[in-house]
Amino acid sequence: MSQVNNPVAIDNDGSAVLERNVEPSKQLAHTVAEAVELYDVDRTAAHIAEGGYSRVALQFPDELLADSTLVSAALQERTQARVFILADTSYGSCCVDEVAAEHYAADAVVHYGRTCLSLTTRLPVVYVFGRETVDVADLCAQCETELQGSRVLLVSDVQYAHVLEDIGKALEDICKEVVVSRIAVQDCAYVPGAEDAAEPGRLWDLEHPIGEYTMLYVGEESLTLTNLLVTQRCQSALSYAPQTRTLRAESARVNRHLSRRYHMVQRARDANVVGIVVGTLAAVRYQSVVDALKQLIRRAGKKFYVFVVGKLNVAKLANFPEIEAYVLVACPENSLVDSKDFYQPVVTPYELLLALSRSHEWTGDYITDFHAFLNELDQRTDDDGDDDEDVPHFSLVTGTLRQARRYNDPRASSSRDVTVQGGSTEIAQYMGSAGAEHLLARAFRGLGHDDQEDKDSEPMLAVDGLSGIAYKYSHETK
């Protein structure tokens, strides 16, 4: 990722932008031999040869792009495949970008760095996590007091997965029981649809309920940690950051995070217009989730719009002021968006299900997996039955009773569905259009929509406008 130095002052002529030095991402491997060792080139080449792949896409995150040319050269020396580098992803870098790979007719993808381990639908994937070091002795020394006599579930970010077994053995003298998680695709490729194919994901075998275990996470603070904390209801949670060698209790952080998520659920419950944001085109069953959300919102009598915006940011969603809440269909890690910077709440599909369900309360369970969400949706749909949807609900956000605006119910037609514009004979009719309601509520609706405008007047000719930049237009003097 590019790093920008020396921010530009407001009162300059723009030359600093053109003359600014941009530093590239830090290079971890300086020779081909270092790249071969660091990025498991020999193992990757063996998988490519075994699968008979002829066109292979290499997907690197921004922070590893500086090493991509060395890795590509090393792979082409060891295989007969044509290799491409995907330097930018359509969505999050943790997801396998099948769409970009298929643009180059690739028949396999090699994914480097951090990953959410989401299932892909079409292309085989070889995962290369990297191998970062951990001071096992320091970790055990810091955990001795906290984990003495406890049952421990040991998990990590993907780049530390290779050292988990060593950490687990070192903790056996301290803990009552140590369960080491494993990643199914750590040493093999994932081939969609193949028999007995290992599926991406973290696996562990527990002899007792998970509520009796303390989770120990090895890795830096990340979306992976957040996802594990909210989906796995362990007795307590600790995280160890190998880069800074710090141990931190995560229970209080989980409570604060869940409190913020619950507040967004309540805001989504008050929303009448919902935007479905498609944040992935690669994860298995994403289209099924989008279709299920449409049905869920339609049954609730609310209006929905579907957006495909690529990488999510505040500016993109701010273009749609009529949307009162968004639901993001993305991988388990990217779906947990901290929406405090957004103008409207951004919730997960499971949170929207909680918001629109009248007969169920949140038990503390949290679902980010698409398969689990669809199963939960089917169960709740069967249990909800026929509720009286005309009954107002109490809003915990405003502290008042709210009557929902029903867009998809023919009984909800009212005088707002037929609007006479000004004193003319033209009638604008709209049924259940949230966009039309928002437009009519605005004082300015664009040129040519003024009620007092003389409709017989000739349109103005286009003329030259100002030229230059806001700092100094061409007609201005110093």
Predicted confidence (pLDDT) per residue in 421-461, tens digit: 444 444 444 455 676 677 777 776 666 555 555 566 677 78
d(CA 125, CA 373) in angstroms, rounded, equals 25
d(CA 454, CA 477) in angstroms, rounded, equals 39
What tokens does 228 get? 């594990």
* Other residues' Cβ atoms within 10 Å of the Cβ of residue 6: 9
Q: Coil, strand or helix: which one is 182?
A: strand
What tokens does 153 get? 């579930």
What tokens does 265 get? 């659920």
Read off the pLDDT band of 19 (50, 70, 90): low
Read off the pLDDT band of 392 (50, 70, 90): low
pLDDT tens per residue across span 62-111: 888 888 889 999 999 899 889 999 877 777 788 888 888 988 899 999 99
Residue in 92, 217, 72 with CA at minimum distance from that of residue 159: 217
**What confidence score (pLDDT) does residue 24 get?**
59
d(CA 123, CA 98) in angstroms, rounded, equals 7
- How is the beta sheet containing 346-347 ordered, strand by strand? 303-307, 273-278, 325-329, 346-347
d(CA 435, CA 451) in angstroms, rounded, equals 19
**What confidence score (pLDDT) does residue 422 get?**
47
pLDDT tens per residue across span 249-304: 887 777 777 888 888 888 888 888 999 999 887 777 888 999 999 999 988 888 89
User: Contacts by 434-443 with C-beta closer than 8 Å and gap 24+?
Assistant: 434/272, 434/273, 434/303, 434/305, 434/322, 434/407, 435/322, 437/322, 438/321, 438/322
In degrees and rounded to multiples of 5, residue 439 shows phi and psi of -65, -40
Helices (H), 148-250: 164-171, 223-231
DSSP 3-64: EE-SPPPSSS-SHHHHH--EEPPPPS--SHHHHHHHTTHHHHHHHHHHHT-SEEEEE--GGG
d(CA 409, CA 191) in angstroms, rounded, equals 45
**What confidence score (pLDDT) does residue 2 get?**
40
pLDDT tens per residue across span 195-217: 777 778 888 999 999 999 999 99
Which residues have CB under 8 Å from 136's CB, separation 6+?
163, 166, 167, 170
Read off the pLDDT band of 477 (50, 70, 90): confident
**What confidence score (pLDDT) does residue 95 get?**
86
Q: Which amino acid is at 77?
A: E
DSSP H or E run through 420: strand 418-420
